Structure 1
Amino acid sequence: MMDCAVVAPTVLDEVLALLASSGEDAVPVAGGIWVTLTLRHGLIRPRLLVHLRRVPELGRMAVEPTGDLVIGASVTHRVVERSPLVRSHSPVLAETLAEVANVRVREQATLVGNLCEADPASDPPTVLAALGASVELLSRRGRRLVPVADFVLGAYQTARAPDELVTAVRVPPLPPRAGVAYLKFRTRSHEDRPALGVAAVVLPDDAGRIAAIDVVVGAAGDRPQRVPSVLGHARGLPLDEELVTMLASAYAGAVETVSDLRASAWYRREMVRVFVARALRLAAQRAGLYRQQGGSMDA
């Protein structure tokens, strides 16, 4: 492991100054799970680790007047999953984080750190993309918001510039009638990273048809994927078994899949078909649409 200096500022401005002056030689650290592993294997070679846990505002978690749930950069998975605030605002996020790795990891790892890691085999980016979440990036040049769907550029690549700090994740409120689900497929132990993850959001109109729908597939390729051209055909239709099957098959044919130690590209594609259908059914059930009788899912 390469020797590097460690600093622990207590003021956010000091963090930004260090990132501005050090650029790619500095790495922000909150939980440290990913940084420790990559340092150990020589995959990163920073000269400076900037520890964030002593900066008070980065440990903030609150629902703002806009309705956005804001989760600071040093807030751990465990805090998020156990928070009544999160369970009320975005229950699927609490559910998802409760199934990440094990308690020991979740006590240390942070949600923002997970996004900055951009490991393709990860749960939170998929769910957050489906929820319409954004990351807050702050530097001495200013502040910007980037949707999670655009923040993760590829495997271990993000839109963060070297002088920027991701200060928080912002999760907007969904309409009260929306149903959301996240399901994942693991090929090895219960604690393993997903071989596939699917998040689905279904919003019905007053007639029980689809007012809005989203499906995001993660861990199949190098970043979370959605297929707008497929989803566009579903709006205004009843969410019946025929439509679920069509959407699942279309997604299976459209998303990028890769082969690795968890699954082959072919097997992942088959599981996309299965898990998109399952996630849509569960989201529809949570939206009050699900009653499978004669092929119908309408309430």
Structure 2
Amino acid sequence: MPNSLLYFAATLIWGSTWLAITFQYGAVPASASVAYRFLLAGMLMLGWCALRGERLRLSLAELRWSAFQGVLMFGLSYMLVYEAEHHIASGLMAVLNSSMVLLNVLGMRLAFGRALDTKSLLGAGLGILGIALVFWPELSEVRGASSWLGVACGLGAALLASIGNLVAQRNRNLAVPLLPGIGYGMLVGGTTALLLTVLSGQPLVFDWRPQYLASLLYLAVFGSVVAFACYLTLMGRIGAARSGYIAVAVPIVALLLSGWFEGFVWRSWTFAGIACAVVGNMIMLLDVAGWLRKIGLARLAARLA
């Protein structure tokens, strides 16, 4: 599958999960919903791997690193996302999550010695600025202890997810089987959320309403199995820094869906923010330097190369 299709599949699916997650709120604790989602997703992923005849017996080291990835990426980070949205608006959570783009760039530098090139920094900066402009009304309403707790949870979720991306990059570099590694990681992440739900004294209840069941199935199959398989495959090809830009594109898709289903009001800074995000997207993912050389701007191209 070409990189562009992997990118757009993950972006479109995750953009729709913001809407699907709203059907998860209710009687079931947020951490329990995370547990149900990733336990189901892990079983489905490993079942798919078995049907494809992939190697399911991983070495102890491979299992350990897949579990570490799962705790960070599928367990703790998602629990913090759900907790953050109890205190702040989902738009602000989108802004905080977009910081993962810059965290990935810095993380690749610290963990793998990847150079901090102008292209990545400029693209990441424009992306974060664009998302901030889109959700500026929600940003301006952050006040009070509850809101700042939500901000802390949102930033913590982005940081843990970024570290999880670096672990995933390490696993790809050492040829840990991709899909089985994801499957085991999801089981460990789901188990982590389940244990923390029990230890915190929250009830392990389940919601049998059709809305909850349908959203859980969608989040497990598409939002977890399909989207993470696309994203981590893309990351193995182009690196965590560039693939992480999906964190900027996803809120834009969510915004379009919100406008369609929830009557989101578009303002001037909404369009300005989307423009910044699109330009940043082009800088991160396209050969802008080659295009600039073709039109005679070789010096500027050299800075972005």
TM bin (shorter chain): under 0.3
Output the TM-score relative to the length of structure 2.
0.27
Output the TM-score relative to the length of structure 1.
0.28
